[in-house]
A and B are shown apart, each in its own frame.
Chain A
Amino acid sequence: DADVTQTPRNRITKTGKRIMLECSQTKGHDRMYWYRQDPGLGLRLIYYSFDVKDINKGEISDGYSVSRQAQAKFSLSLESAIPNQTALYFCATSDLGLAGGADTQYFGPGTRLTVL
């Protein structure tokens, strides 16, 4: 089984709808992240969480909210979807690494979201 899973893998929705993307991990990592990928722009950080009670905004958090239900689960919500939120969304996890060093982020398979 994959260490980081995302559901759904693909989703088409309409403008104004509320939608939730879910991420689960079995790696036992404390840190979880949500990124958005647009063509030609690379990945940009939406939200991140260092533990269940620690949630922080990233570079592009407007229009999004998150919930860290447990160490292993981190959900991303679009309260009222709009077409420019059409993108590929990635969840990632990491731990502290040795002595707080280069914790590597491991990515889920991505969710392709289309907002019509």
Chain B
Amino acid sequence: AQTVTQSQPEMSVQEAETVTLSCTYDTSESDYYLFWYKQPPSRQMILVIRQEAYKQQNATENRFSVNFQKAAKSFSLKISDSQLGDAAMYFCAYRSAPYGGSQGNLIFGKGTKLSVKP
């Protein structure tokens, strides 16, 4: 079974600085998808970024980018120019592809709580 590990329960960053959140996963599959979701205090789950495992190029979305290391099974999220609104829980998630044993369901890590200091 696939597992997702986020080893940093809490992180802190100064406003305007850069922070990297770690995520590792375990799988025997060769094709899959990885996601980062943000959960602010409003508790809404918001998609931040996603990465297809077959793509070598790292995904980017404005100030958010990932460092995807397939061989190391690592999928870190980098937030540049951190803003107060970035303060939230961040969850890393895995999904099999096309629709493997997990039938395409998301497997989540336990989350990293990010604080942004003004």
Contacts and interface: CB of A to CB of B under 8 A. Distances in A.
B109 A107 contact: no
Interface stretch (B11-19, B62-70, B71-79, B90-98): B90-98
Interface stretch (A14-22, A39-47, A68-76): A39-47
Contacts, number: 59
A88 interface: yes
Interface in A30-68: 31, 33, 40-45, 48, 50, 56, 58
Contacts of A109: 42-44
Given A48-B105, A101-B98, A105-B47, 9 more contacts: A33-B105, A33-B106, A41-B110, A50-B103, A58-B105, A100-B98, A102-B95, A106-B47, A110-B45
Q: In the A-B complex, list the 7 residue pairs whose CB atoms are closest, starting with the nearest.
A: A107-B45, A42-B108, A102-B33, A42-B110, A43-B108, A100-B98, A110-B43
30 contacts: A31-B104, A33-B105, A40-B9, A40-B110, A40-B111, A42-B108, A42-B111, A43-B106, A43-B108, A44-B108, A50-B103, A56-B103, A90-B45, A92-B106, A100-B99, A101-B52, A101-B98, A102-B52, A102-B95, A104-B35, A104-B47, A104-B50, A105-B106, A106-B47, A107-B37, A107-B44, A109-B42, A109-B44, A110-B43, A112-B43
